[in-house]
Structure 1
């Protein structure tokens, strides 16, 4: 059974943080248990998030909670080995609301890094706001 791949050893990077205020809107807030904190990107097209795992993984599901009005209309999941190039694993299409949404990933290859590209934001300025993000899967054998 798949379990959360997010742990203290996972390295994360994001495209931007609103007004560079990482204390209030930083990436760490996507992974904390506090329902009132969030990652808030700055404005601009094609915001993204990269997660680097301490070992190879097979992603089976993504769970994400956007703020309504600040979700992406199209998300592209990419993956790569440690020293390889990113290739597309799949696309998903979130609803523009505040609910926790789940997106199954079919037959994902073993990867060491994943990148989520947030395309076509519902926000006029291209901002993305995420309250919760989890990546489910298994260690690759």
Structure 2
């Protein structure tokens, strides 16, 4: 995704960034993923090259390693965040925000996971932008 300047994550399984690193979240391949290490909470932060307005997003977890108690946060606007409730499935899940968020730094926070050890696996994230 050309608008994304940087991605940072809470952890990577076995510190193997080549196989399980953050860039896999936006590479468009269903064969690659970001796989966190054990522990909670886990998070993924996206920095954009310019201000954007996000009206929603699509996210694909691996079943058994999905986020629970999930929050989408806008770090540009103080305290702007929205909880979302993902399912423990492999398919792409779409979430629309109750109010679009404008800024250039956003993150997903996963307080817990469907995995007993707190691991999260994400195959992809796609942001839905408000073009109005």
User: What's the TM-score once normalised by structure 1's chain length?
Assistant: 0.86
> Does the 8 A contact of 1:60 with 1:104 survive in 2?
yes
Gaps of 5+ in 2: none
1:126 to 96, 112, 118: 118
Could you tell me which residue of structure 1 aligns to residue 42 of structure 2?
47
Could you tell me which residue of structure 2 aligns to residue 70 of structure 1?
65
Could you tell me which residue of structure 2 aligns to residue 13 of structure 1?
8
Deviation at 1:112, TM superposition (A): 1.4
Could you tell me which residue of structure 1 aligns to residue 51 of structure 2?
56
Gaps of 5+ in 1: 1-5
Runs ≥4 residues deviating over 4 A: none
> Does the 8 A contact of 2:3 with 2:49 survive in 1?
no
Q: Deviations over 1:65-97 (max 9, x none)?
A: 00000001221011122xx65x23211000001
> Does the 8 A contact of 2:73 with 2:81 survive in 1?
yes
Superposition CA RMSD, Å: 1.7
Which SS does the other structure have where 1:68 is aligned?
coil
Change (3 A) 1:8 1:111: closer
Q: How many residue pairs get matched?
A: 132
> Does the 8 A contact of 1:89 with 1:108 survive in 2?
no
Greater strand share, structure number: 2
Q: Are 1:109 and 2:101 counterparts?
A: yes
> Does the 8 A contact of 1:71 with 1:96 survive in 2?
yes
Q: Deviations over 1:85-110 (max 9, x none)?
A: 5x232110000010100000121332
